[in-house]
Every structure is written in structure tokens, then in C-alpha cells.
Amino acid sequence: MRSGLARSALALLLACVVAVVVVPVLVLLRTSWVEGRGRLAEIMTDPGFRSAVANSFWLSAAVTGLAVPVGVAIALALRDPGLPGRNFWRAAVLLPVLVPDFVLAYSWLRAYARAGLTSEAFGFAWPQVQGPVGVTVIVASNAVPLVYLVTAVGLSTRAEPVTERAARASGARPLTVLRTVTLPLLGPAIATAAVLIFVLTLGTFAVPQVIGAPAGFRTITTLIYADLALGSDPQSFVEAITLAVLLVMITVIVVTPADRLLGGRLSLSRTPARDSDWGTGSSTTRILVPIVLGLYLIVTCGLPLLALVSAAFTRAVGVPLSPENWTLDNFLAVLTPRTGQALGRSLLLAVAAGSILLVLGGCTAALSRTRSGRAVSVLVALTLVLPGSVLAIGLLIGYGRWLADTVLIILLAYLAKLWALAHRPISAAVDRLAPAGLQAARASGADLPTALATVVVPVLRPALIAAWGLCFLTALHEVTMSSLLYGPGTETLAVVVLNSADLGRIGVTAALSVIVTVVVLVPGGALWMLGRRSRHG
């Protein structure tokens, strides 16, 4: 009876994956073949198309080259348990994750562009922020937390402190230890991080759209958006799907050999970090690290967010930041029923996505011990690197007939894109469950529900909270797919912000961004505290 239940659950899961991932991708491929065959040569030689493809490629390469060394350096610096305020820094480095990327991009503009905060306060402006250089730097600073996380996991699982002590006791100086032991051991983790960052940057949309598009810097994803959202002729539709197919192909080309080279280590699963028992840093690094890290966070996060808040609360761009110019007008201007509805819709979508994904991710993790269950989890893992633009176009072609301009199609897109995010933490926790635990509870007189409730759920609780929280927050941030799928009356809050930024309404956009950030930060902080408490309590 139990295997029958498992089998039908598995069939249901498989059907879900096929519906939200496989069908959209196949439909996309088929359409591009049917529609695009004749015009392929024409599209491929179009200079706009070619420059978008080249831009995407170089952007990904530059972001990877920038974010990986910084993230690795931060992970190495924060490993020293003797570092003052280490827990604070470890949380602070992850802070950019809680701020939606389009908000951060917009904040950089408010901080460093002409007539920005630093220009007003110190007479320093950085005009290049609006363009390819700015896009690269901002996307890279957004990618650093991920590199940091992957490297930190690699450090705690591969490069145990004893390996470094053995090198010191063999006569190696600290820098030699780094070169001959630590970095070689971190190789797989660093390679994983590099591939992930490259692929995720290929699919990134919000920052190039907010920062690059106004300066004429187009990437594959922003060109898809321009073709679908602004273009109306069949030619732009064909160009969009051709771009989407190209994006899938590049992603597959990058990920497949990497996955094979790394022996399937391309995973994000977090193991509990085991603290090394004593310090590795010197007194000099313990003074330098907080200073450098503090400056880094002020430049990449602090000043931009300060600029955003001050733009939201001042009357106009370029006026001095004195009290007589403070105003709530920008907030009053956005307090429209339309914004309220968008906010409600976003929260509803995020809660729905988080809750459904908790079930889907939990089932995938629970069933992944069977062979077809593993197949499902592999498919699910692929969605992590499948660009959102591709999924969105596939869903639009596949289900647009029935679902176009409804909230439902956005929800489907979230489910497809975030499934892996829900699956990873839960499956990592399931793997850590002692297999005999459940049997031991049964043998101690607990019936199945009691056994589950007393020995399984408490162990899984932090992972379940993390999975729900990750999906909820990412859904609130999501703009790549939402901006392609929304219709009249189904905008999400993120889309409203993006459109407002496109229209160049500075104060209003800043006010909206502040609202989005607060909406994300409050539940984000609450979930973090909850997660901490259930880990320690």
C-alpha cells in the first residue's frame, strides 16, 4: 500500500515537472523551428542581435572574473573564528541578497550617477555607472554573496583546518599554505561558483534593464524583453524566441562539461558549517579585515541604499538634503489603489509559491531515493540554471492561449523557476536524517504520524523554514519572468517599480523601491530569526 502511495505521488510530481518545465522548453524549441527556420539567417546577421549575444557573453565573463576572487577572499577572511564581530560580518555579507537586484541597481544610480548622492555631497560622480561597466560591477557585487556561500561550504567540507596546520608544521608560511593547500582543495568549490555565476549572469535581467538599457547596452535578456514587451511585429517575436533558444544552448554548453568535470558536484546543498577550533588569522588581519569589509559593504550596499532612501524623501533631484526639502510626497504619490493591489498580489503570489513549493520540494526530496525520483530531482536541479526569460516565453507559448494575462501563469513560472530552491535545503536535511531514526521511534512505541512529528519534522524544521523563506523572498524579488508575463491588472509590485524606473520618475521609483525593500526585509528578518531559533532551540 505504501509503495502504491509512493508511486502515485511520484507520478504526480513527474506530471508537475513535465507541465511547468519540460513542456515550455519543448514548445519553445518547436516554435523556434517552425517560425524561425526561414528567417534565421536574417536574424543572426542583425547587428543588434549579434551585439546583444556578445554583450551577454562578455558580461558573464567579466562578472565571473570579478565576483569569484572577491567572494573567495571574503570566505577566507571570515573563516578566522578569532575575527572580531565575525557573526555580524557573516550576516552583513549576505545582506545584498535581501535587497531585490533591481532596487540595488537603481540605488547605485541614485548614489553614484550624475546628480547622485556622492556628487551632491562630495562632488564625486561616476558617469560610467550607467552603462556596461556599471552593469558589470553591480551584477558582480550581487553575485559575491553566492560565491561566498559556495566557498564557505567548500571550506567547511573540504579544507579542514588540520590540513593547514599540517602544512604549517611542515614548514610552510601562511601564503604558501594558501597556494599549496587551501586553494587547491577549494578548486571544485571555486569552479562550481564560477560556472554558477557565469550561467546566472547570462540569465540576469533586472540590472541590465535598469542600468544598461537606457545607455544602449543590450543583453540577450533585455533584448527579449524589448522584443516582447515593446515590439509588436512578428519579426521581433521570432527574434525573441531565437534569443531564448540561444540562451538555453549556451547554458547547456557551459553547464554540461562543467558538471561532468566536477563529477556532479555542481550543487548548492549546505552542510552545517563546523567551526574550526581556533584562530588562523594574525592580529594585523583582524584589524584590516573589518576595515576593508566595512568599506566594501558601504560602497556596494550602504551608500546606494542611503541614496535611495534620501531620493525617496526629498522633493526633487539635485536639491540639497536639508530638512526643508524633506517630503513624503513621493510616498503619497505611490499610495494608489494600483500599488496596493500590486503589493497584495505580490504577497499572495509569494505566499502561494512558497507554500506549494514546500510540498513539491518536500515530496521531491522524500522520493529522491528511488530511480525515477532521482530523475525528477535532476530535472528540478536544471531549472536553477534555466534562464527565467526562457521559461517565461515557453510558458507563454505553451499555456498563453488559456492563461495569458492571469496571475496563474505567473504562479506557474515561479513554481518552475524556484522548485530547485525549495528542493535543495530540504533534500540536504533529508540526507542527514539517520535512516534508523524513524524505525527506532516506531520500535519505541510511536505510531507513524507520531514518529514523523517527533523525530523527523523537528530535524527538518530549519530546512523547511529556509525553503519556504527562500521561495517567498525570491518570488517577491522576481522581475525577469513577471515583466514578460504580466497583463493588465496582474502587475506585481516589482513590475510596477521596473516600469516606473523605465519612465524615469526618480522620486516615485525611489519611494516604491523603499517599499519593496521593506516588504522583503521585514519577513526576511523574521524568517532569519525564526530559522536561528529553530536551529539553536
Partner 1 sequence: MAEVLQLRGLSLAYGATPVLDSVNLTVAEGEVLALLGPSGSGKSTLLNAVAGFLPLRSGEIFLRQRLVATAGSAEPPEKREIALVFQDYGLWPHLTALDTVAYPLRRRGVRRDLARSQAQQILDRLGVGQLSGRKPAQLSGGEQQRVGLARAMARQAALYLFDEPTAHLDAQVRDVFLAELAARRRESGAAAIYATHDAAEALGLADRVALLIGGRVIQVGTPQEVYAQPVSVAAARLTGPVSLLAGSDFPVLVRPDWARLGGDRTGVVADVWFRGSHTDYALDTPEGELQLRAPGLPAHGRGEEISWSLERSWPLPGD
> Which residues of the chain form contacts with partner 1 (CB under 8 A)?
158, 162-163, 165-174, 176, 180-181, 184-185, 187, 277-279
Q: Output the CA–CA distances (angstroms, integers) from residue 29 to 34, 37, 219, 391, 402, in the order listed.
A: 9, 11, 21, 12, 20
Four-residue CA torsion sign, 216, 222, 223, 229? negative
Residue number with CB closer to partner 1 (168 or 461): 168
Q: Give min distance, CB of 143 to partner 1, in A.
A: 26
Task: Tell me the three-class secondary structure of 40-89, residue by residue.
Answer: HHHHHCCHHHHHHHHHHHHHHHHHHHHHHHHHHHHHHHCCCCCCCCHHHH
Q: How far is the CB of 184 from partner 1 (least distance, A)?
A: 5
Bridge partner list, 314:
326
Rounded to the nearest whole angstrom, what is the least distance from the CB of residue 89 to partner 1 in the complex?
Answer: 19
Other beta carbons within 10 angstroms of residue 518's beta carbon come to 10
Buried b (16+ CB within 10 A) or exposed e, 62-96: bbbebbbebbbbbbbbbbbeebeebeebbebbebb
Q: State which residue, 30 or 173, has the beta carbon closest to partner 1.
A: 173
Q: How far is CA 418 from CA 423, 470, 527, in A?
A: 9, 9, 18
Inter-residue contact 73 to 155 (CB < 8 Å): no
C-alpha grid cell, residue 469: 523563506
8 Å CB contact between 98 and 524: yes
Q: Which is nearer to partner 1, 279 or 531 (CB)?
A: 279
Q: Which is nearer to partner 1, 1 or 175 (CB)?
A: 175
CB of 109 closer than 8 Å to CB of 130: yes
Closer residue to partner 1, CB minimum distance, 83 or 426: 83
C-alpha dihedral sign at 525, 419, 424, 296? negative
- Give whichever of 23 and 185 is closer to partner 1, judged by the CB atom: 185
- Based on CB atoms, which residue is closest to partner 1, 127 or 174? 174
Give 239's DSSP letter: H
Q: Report, in Å, the least distance between residue 158 CB and partner 1.
A: 7
Closest contact distance (angstroms) between CB of 153 and partner 1 is 16
Choose between 181 and 349: whose C-beta lies nearer to partner 1. 181
Contact 228, 237 (CB under 8 A): yes
Using DSSP's 3-state secondary structure scheme, residue 503 falls into coil
Distance between CA atoms of 335 and 515, rounded to whole angstroms? 10
From the list 176, 132, 141, the residue with the least C-alpha distance to 69 is 141
Residue 166 C-beta: closest distance to partner 1, Å? 4
Nearer residue to partner 1 within complex by CB, 162 or 443? 162
CB of 180 to partner 1, least distance (A): 7
Q: Residue 503 and residue 500: Cα distance in Å, rounded?
A: 5
- Residue identified by cell 525528477 is 376
256/271 with CB nearer partner 1: 271
Closer residue to partner 1 in complex, CB, 13/167: 167
Q: How far is the CB of 257 from partner 1 (least distance, A)?
A: 21
Q: If we measure between CA atoms, which residue out of 426, 525, 517, 417 comes closest to residue 476?
A: 517
CB of 167 to partner 1, least distance (A): 7
Least separation in angstroms between CB 160 and partner 1: 8
Q: Nearer to partner 1 by C-beta: 182 or 517? A: 182
Cα distance between residue 117 and residue 36, in whole Å: 47
Instruction: Classify residue 520 as exposed, middle or buried by CB count within 10 Å of its CB (0-12, 13-18, 19+).
Output: buried
Q: How far is the CB of 169 from partner 1 (least distance, A)?
A: 4
CB of 171 to partner 1, least distance (A): 4
> Cβ 82 to partner 1, closest distance in Å?
9
Whose cell is 534508523? That residue is 436
Q: Which is nearer to partner 1, 276 or 492 (CB)?
A: 276
Q: Give residue for cell 513621493.
A: 330
404: Cβ contacts below 8 Å, ≥ 6 apart: 396, 487
